[in-house]
Amino acid sequence: QVQLVESGGGLVQAGGSLRLSCAASGSTFYSYAMGWFRQAPGKEREFVATISGPGGNRDYADSVKGRFAIYRDNAKNTVYLQMNSLKPEDTAVYYCAADTSGYYRGQGKIDYWGKGTRVTVSS
């Protein structure tokens, strides 16, 4: 069983930055694809960014390209989401996720989810 614990959420003004962290348990973190997703009030959960296990290939939702960056520190079993130039529409609960296959196969194939951290961007 893998546990994922997010941190770093909070309240920030539009144009500001936040860095989310997700600490994972287990010894094979380096092999997992890790991702960030978000769910805004009244909306479905959506993909934000992912980074593969081998190679560290990254992919982003169009809405965050150029503003957000996902990266990982395998020595610390941690994945990060650096969020810059935040907009009010980025307000959501952000979830960390792990795909043990090593590559992101879609939300339906996610093996583990964190409990989320709330991000609120004021205008």
Residue 88 pLDDT exceeds 90: yes
Which of 106, 56, 105 minimizes the C-alpha distance to 79? 56
pLDDT of amino acid 23: 98
Distance of CA 87 to the CA centre of its chain: 17
- Give CA–CA dist 47/43, Å, rounded: 12
Closest CA to 35 of 102, 120, 121, 123: 102
| Predicted local distance difference test score (pLDDT) of residue 49 | 98
**18-51 pLDDT per residue, tens:** 999 999 998 899 999 999 999 999 999 999 999 9
Mean pLDDT of 86-114: 95
Arithmetic mean of pLDDT, 62-80: 96
Sorting pLDDT into bands at 50, 70 and 90, what band is 1?
Answer: confident
**Average pLDDT over every residue of 73-93:** 97
Mean pLDDT of the chain: 95
